[in-house]
Structure 1
Amino acid sequence: MSFSRAGFRSVALGVVAALIFAWQGPLAAQDTAKPGQEATPASGSSTQTAGQPASEPAPAGNATAAAAPGKPGDAAAGQGKAAACGACHGMDGNSSDPQYPKLAGQHEDYIVRQLTNFKANKRQNPIMLGMATPLSEQDMHDIGAYFASKQSLPGVADAALVERGQQLFREGDPELGVPACMACHGIAGRGNPGAKYPQLTSQHAQYVQAKLKDWHDGVTWSDDALAQIMPTIAKKLSEADIAAVASYIEGLHPADAAQPAAR
């Protein structure tokens, strides 16, 4: 299939506008979770603070609810609250099972946003709904702060997929109407916390691939304008392109990390 240059310009402008005003970027908590999963949401093991009622699910259509403004998180408090998340996401947020996302180094507000979406059932997953429901807004911030304080372990990319993956990540594909991933997520995949675009660096390729496929097939993680960005882009990617960019993302890591970029 082919797309006009005008169509690409429209998509690119839409992404830039979203970057200026707010965000819903891609990856974070796992949709196919299991008990204790998704430190982000899975921190359901955390109980709400004494005397502090859990926040109520946001009404549908309220785009501001997912922002979860609240008091900045306390990483020390979050460590205990996130203990149950370790079974799937690793105690330090570096999951050993690639079907579950790494949360280490992820931005606090992004984790809060996804927990809020799970709790409101906007990002639908029965297990994560149950895990997120007991959490207060402060619990979410504390859990987010804990994982944000950790460092994501470097991954490796498949050498056979690097060329196409790098093109999509750094240049996009004008013919397909696909903007460069780094326009929102940064050259090294560190994300943009101010605009609420998540960190992607070193994320498991299997997880990234699964989420891109979900978006390609029409899944959304909320009902606001920000949640439409990735589904709109992913629909234009082929299965091969999804595999390539997912693998490239796993190979992204800090320059000071002693790890080969390809295998």
Structure 2
Amino acid sequence: MRGGKWIVVAFALTVAGGAQAAGDAAAGQQKSAPCQACHSTDGNSAVGMYPNIAGQHASYTVTQLKALRDGTRKDPVMSPMAANLSDQDIEDLAAFYAGQKVKLGSVPDDKVAAGAQLYRAGNSNTAVPACMACHGPDGKGNAPAGWPALGGQHPEYIAKQLNLYASGERSTDLNNIMRDIAARLSKAEIDAVSQYVSGLH
């Protein structure tokens, strides 16, 4: 992707991210009971297909829950769960989970080199940028820009989302950023980088 486009996107996301209001974490904890079946009490899911939301930037969680509620992002499990959430519910839940600590996974030895290469340097042959350009060298993302934290995320969930972006089924990325990137990733690259970020810190 051309440098100018990245700058415009980063500016737009920074402006959008800065507009988010703060939620009440204590209220969010009280409202989190329906979330616990999939995301556990602290946001660290025990099932690989359900994301870890502990430690995720509140602004990103707010954006995604609103997209799920309003239909711009669709998921058979989460869309019905988000359907009746008010804006205040979403802000409160996001604040609560942002204050929890994500539990890091481990990276299989045979995935470390390939995953690190893609995450830290990208693939110049296929014009895939380094993942850390947006998500940070330690996987903590960029809250003002709206880019999520990835460190400690389940590899199954990451792989599923990359495939959804690649197919165009998920389209919550501004200016097709993730759809453009994911469409150029091979199955082996998706597997390697998904495994790598699980233990990234």
Q: How would you bin the TM-score normalised by the shorter chain?
A: over 0.9
Whether the aligned pair in 2 keeps the contact of 1:19 and 1:184 (CA below 8 Å) is no
CA distance in 2, matches of 1:104, 1:141: 15
- The one-letter code sitting in structure 2 at the alignment partner of 1:252 is L
Could you tell me which residue of structure 2 aligns to residue 90 of structure 1? 40
Give the alignment of 1:208-219 within 5 angstroms. 208-219=158-169
Q: TM-score, normalised by structure 1?
A: 0.72
**Comparing both structures, which one devotes a greater share of its residues to helix?**
2
Deviation at 1:216, TM superposition (A): 1.4
Could you tell me which residue of structure 2 aligns to residue 234 of structure 1? 182
> Aligned in 2, Cα 1:167/1:17: closer, same or farther, shift over 3 Å?
farther
Deviation at 1:147, TM superposition (A): 0.2
Query: How many residues end up aligned between the 2 structures?
Result: 200
CA distance in 2, matches of 1:206, 1:220: 16
> Aligned in 2, Cα 1:71/1:214: closer, same or farther, shift over 3 Å?
closer
Do structure 1's residue 122 and structure 2's residue 95 form an aligned pair?
A: no
Give the alignment of 1:10-25 within 5 angstroms. 10=2, 13-22=4-13
Whether the aligned pair in 2 keeps the contact of 1:68 and 1:116 (CA below 8 Å) is no
> Aligned in 2, Cα 1:16/1:219: closer, same or farther, shift over 3 Å?
farther
What secondary structure is seen at the aligned counterpart in 2 of 1:73?
coil
Select the residue among 218, 232, 250 that pairs with 2:198: 250
What secondary structure is seen at the aligned counterpart in 1 of 2:179?
helix
Whether the aligned pair in 2 keeps the contact of 1:156 and 1:251 (CA below 8 Å) is yes
Tell me the C-alpha RMSD between the 2 structures.
1.9
Whether the aligned pair in 1 keeps the contact of 2:20 and 2:59 (CA below 8 Å) is no
Q: TM-score, normalised by structure 2?
A: 0.93
Could you tell me which residue of structure 2 aligns to residue 136 of structure 1? 86
Could you tell me which residue of structure 2 aligns to residue 51 of structure 1? none
CA distance in 2, matches of 1:210, 1:70: 27
Do structure 1's residue 102 and structure 2's residue 52 form an aligned pair?
A: yes
Whether the aligned pair in 2 keeps the contact of 1:221 and 1:227 (CA below 8 Å) is no
Give the alignment of 1:1-263 within 5 angstroms. 10=2, 13-22=4-13, 69=19, 71-222=21-172, 226=174, 228-253=176-201
> Aligned in 2, Cα 1:162/1:17: closer, same or farther, shift over 3 Å?
farther
CA distance in 2, matches of 1:68, 1:117: 18
CA distance in 1, matches of 2:145, 2:106: 27
> Aligned in 2, Cα 1:102/1:18: closer, same or farther, shift over 3 Å?
same
Whether the aligned pair in 1 keeps the contact of 2:114 and 2:192 (CA below 8 Å) is yes
CA distance in 2, matches of 1:13, 1:181: 18
Deviation at 1:20, TM superposition (A): 2.8
Find the structure with the greater CA-based Rg. 1
Whether the aligned pair in 2 keeps the contact of 1:68 and 1:112 (CA below 8 Å) is no
> Aligned in 2, Cα 1:182/1:68: closer, same or farther, shift over 3 Å?
closer
CA distance in 2, matches of 1:125, 1:221: 12
Deviations 1:12-62 (A, max 9, x none): 543343223217xxxxxxxxxxxxxxxxxxxxxxxxxxxxxxxxxxxxxxx
CA distance in 1, matches of 2:19, 2:32: 20
Unaligned runs of 5+ in 1: 1-8, 24-63, 254-263
CA distance in 1, matches of 2:67, 2:88: 15
